[in-house]
Amino acid sequence: LSTVLKKYKTIPESILAAIVFQSLWGLAYLRHEKRVHRDIKPQNILCDSKGNVKLTDFGISRALEDSMNMCMTVCGTFKYMSPERLNSEPYSYPSDIWSLGLVIFECATGEYPYPES
């Protein structure tokens, strides 16, 4: 996905919708497996020429004992971290959704939603 963004700057809504749909299915599967990815970003979302989407780089993903457990460690790509992760607060599955939301915004507009310092 990052290569597509570099080349085209934005992704048309119909294509982005398909990418988001498949990415959400991937995150739903991770939740079913009680795993938090913790590094959702364009570089970790692969798309092929047939429209297939895969989440990759599970190097810092974490298994949770049950759906109520939380993570505490700060790891991943700072730019795509959820507010609770940035504040060193407990987090779980919703933090991956936040990260995906930032990716979606960036794909739709061609810009990261917050000023980068």
Closest of 52, 59, 19, 55 to residue 40, by C-alpha: 55
Q: Which listed residue (39, 57, 66, 96) is catalytic?
A: 39
Quick one: three-class SS letters along 30-45?
HHHCCEECCCCCHHHE
Q: Amino acid identity, residue 58?
A: F
Whether 39 is catalytic is yes
Q: What is the DSSP letter of 51?
A: S
Distance between CA 89 and CA 23 in Å, rounded? 25
Question: CA separation (Å) from 34 to 1, 31, 67, 93?
Answer: 25, 5, 6, 9
| Residues classed as catalytic | 39
